Structure 1
Amino acid sequence: MFEKMGQTLADTGRYEVHIIGFPGTSQKTYPGIALHPSRPFQRISLERIRMPFRIFRMLLTLSPDVIIATTHELLLATVAVRLFRKARVIYDVQENYFRNILYLPTFPLLLRPLLALWVRAWERLLTLFVSRVIVSEQGYVDELRFIRRKAVVIQNKVKRSAIRPRVAQSRGGKRLLFSGTLAESTGVFTAIHMANELHEHDPSVHLTIIGYCAHANALRQIQEAIQGRDYITLIGGDKLVSHDAIMEAIAEADFGLIAYPPNPSTRNTIPTKLFEYLGARLPILLINHPPWMEFCAPYSAALVFDPSHIDPAEMLHRMRNTEFYTRNPGEEVLWESEAGRLVATVDDAVPG
């Protein structure tokens, strides 16, 4: 929010941007942006329930012209502000929450359908009162038919200024990277399995796992899976990791791993780190998901693997002998190609 949406809107010189959210790891400031960190809270806690009420009161005080809500949990609070202020609301759909709740093991199996239907019902109702709905993929428009008339596709691409110069590559594929959200659903255990297989054939192979894990049980499983394996480094885990740190790790890696297991919740999405790896021209070890394979193919950016059948000797040979990035990615992977659409969307929402 800060690096892309916030800075893009502030750079126009027409908007004073206020960002309310979970306290981050960075102490960055930016002209035209005011940060309002919330109190830290656990994923399941009373403070999380109180937070929409706190944000509602803060919004009444700030009295903004446009509010961008980035989670379904804040939709009611932001829409309610319209009863007291002239604010317009934009809903930034970051995930298909219905499919996430229904198909991921975050909640008990028997509760998932009820919770998923409850969230979807609230979204259907409250989006009647928003001006626009921002989605990061056309796939979300196809999945969420009730937003079609209000949807604007703005892909979550990598900002040019965030990309770090790549350090000298080993060409041996020794430094593997798994970055972003750490969970079974994002493929972290597939990445660990890949590192184990490759390390057995080449002891110089090393895996860095960097990102935040929101679920204590998943973090414990990750820690157990890498225990005693000094060739795997975990950065973050139970602590948030700055985007700068992730981009630095990308610059230092030889290969980035994208290993989401097949799941309806991610079927029609493009992972943010795919844009980050392409923007940094980092070769990718890519799970065999056809849309992502097609996306990477024009650049010769990726080696595709089947997680059920990893041949480490053959994979290492391909990693060391393939010529990557025979065509360099351009503006199509950069945030700058989307920024104008964001500004136009907010401009249209400003009350007359």
Structure 2
Amino acid sequence: MSTAKIAHLTSVHPRNDIRIYHKELISLNRNYKCSLIVADGLGSYVDDNKINIIDVGKPNSRLDRMKNSPQRILQAALKLDADLYHLHDPELLQIALNLKKAGRKVIFDAHEDLPKQVLSKPYLNKFNAYIISFIVKYYEKFICSKLDAIVTATPVIRDKFSKISKKAIDINNYPLLGELTPLDKDWSKIQNEIAYVGGITKIRGIEQVVDALSLLKTSTRLNLVGTCNEKSTTEIFIKKIGWHAVNELGQLNREQVREVLQKSIAGLVTFLPVPNHIDAQPNKMFEYMSAGIPVIGSNYPLWKSIIEDNNCGICVDPENPKQIANAIDILVNDKTLAAQMGQNGIKAVNEKYNWSIEEAKLFQLYEELLGN
């Protein structure tokens, strides 16, 4: 095990974030002394995996988070005196150069394409969104060009950063092998249920999904896992006719998610066509595949190349509830087809869409930067 100390920093994500903690940190913890600096108010301690969790306190508001949390995290990071800092939020770019000036290696992990993401923010009007996106694009370029490496969640984002960074690598958000894969699933006993797992927002197509439930020819329920923080969106979809067919399950742990997916016939990931979604690779898409259930996904070229080319689901127009309903009806009424698509998904994950492959790339990057 290396004596190098590394720290992952986040002001936004929970301490048990799938990408940050369960994938990157758990993997890296085998070779390095790992710390995680968070801002969630849940306290500091060394956890069961011997990862040092440092909590700088939960912010009082979005403004407090964006303005003050990065400075609190910077102070904690400098006090920790790690050899390498791995930043996970765009708002932490404001402290990245301070860490560089301290003589440390710094990585920025671009989970999303930030300038495109800004264009889809529901609380910004189009004009303001465009201006902020323009500013963010050049600010991001200025800071990231001075960092040691950029890690990205997709090849498309990697290609963008390859033009401005000396080292950009995609570490895809593929699932952990075996975590969600069923041991023995009897499709003949599966009830007419489908699943949606993850953040629930307007641009992730929740309204169209609920509308689709009212158009189904075969009665089917939706296992809805996650929370919606958009009050106006919630007020709309809970009043829709299709809402009566929703099992609202809220936030669940990983074992509970596994149980929900095992009793579902298919998984939905019908994100709407906003700029940040077209070339995205949603984690839930691969988790459905890993769980052995067909994916009903948006019909974007990249998504179709994953879902349809591997024959593990059906792609639809995410803005068309009728198409979503038709896809659900097809799979609910042909469980043999659903089971075969589910097996195809497992095969694809085992062969090419799994964390073991991405983990090796992450280790190689760290070895290069730390000189091991």
**Superposition TM-score tier, normalisation by shorter sequence:** 0.7 to 0.9
Q: State the partner residue of 2:17.
A: none
1:316 to 326, 329, 332: 329
TM-score w.r.t. the length of structure 1 is 0.86
Q: Distance in 2 between matches of 1:179 and 1:207?
A: 10
- Alpha-carbon distance change, 60 to 317 in structure 1, aligned in 2, over 3 angstroms: closer
Report SS of the residue matched to 2:68: helix
The CA distance in 1 between the partners of 2:23 and 2:326, in whole Å, is 41
How much has 1:174 moved relative to structure 2? 1.2
Q: Does 1:336 align with 2:349?
A: no
Query: In percent, how many aligned pairs have the same letter?
Result: 18
Identify the match of residue 28 of structure 2 among 6, 9, 22.
9
Q: Which runs of 5+ in 1 are unaligned?
A: none
Q: TM-score, normalised by structure 2?
A: 0.82
- One-letter code aligned to 1:8: S
What does residue range 122-201 of structure 1 map to in structure 2 within 5 Å? 122-144=139-161, 146-147=163-164, 149-165=166-182, 167-169=185-187, 174-198=192-216, 201=217
Q: Is the 8 A contact 1:160 1:335 kept in 2?
A: yes
Give 3-state SS (helix, strand or coil) of 2:95's partner.
Answer: helix
Instruction: Provide the C-alpha distance between the structure 2 equivalents of 1:24 and 1:271, rounded to a whole number of angstroms.
Output: 28
How many residue pairs end up in the alignment? 341
Correspondence for 1:90: 107
Instruction: State the AA in 2 paired with 1:221.
Output: I
Alignment of 1:1-352 (within 5 A): 1-12=20-31, 15-23=32-40, 29-41=47-59, 44-83=62-101, 85-144=102-161, 146-147=163-164, 149-165=166-182, 167-169=185-187, 174-198=192-216, 201-203=217-219, 205-225=220-240, 229-236=243-250, 241-307=252-318, 308=320, 310=322, 312=325, 315-321=328-334, 322=337, 323-325=340-342, 327=344, 328-329=347-348, 330-350=350-370
Between the aligned partners of 2:71 and 2:225, the Cα distance in structure 1 is 33
- Supply the distance in 2 between the matched residues of 1:184 and 1:155 (Cα, whole angstroms): 25
Contact 2:46/2:52 (<8 A) preserved: no
CA distance in 2: counterparts of 1:211 and 1:24, whole angstroms: 21
Q: CA RMSD, aligned part only?
A: 2.8
Q: Which amino acid in the other structure matches residue 196 of structure 2? A: F
Contact kept? 2:70, 2:92, Cα under 8 Å: yes
Higher normalized contact order (CA 8 Å, seq sep 6+, divided by chain length) = 1
The 1:76/1:31 distance shift into structure 2, 3 A limit, reads: same
Note closer, same or farther for the CA distance 1:186–1:229 as it changes in structure 2 (3 Å cut).
Answer: closer
Distance 1:273 1:67 in 2: 27
What's the CA shift string for 1:162-217, capped at 9, x where partnerless?
A: 3253654357771111111211112222221222222xx333x1112112334333
> Separation in 2 of the partners of 1:313 and 1:118?
42
User: What's the CA shift for 1:314?
Assistant: 7.5
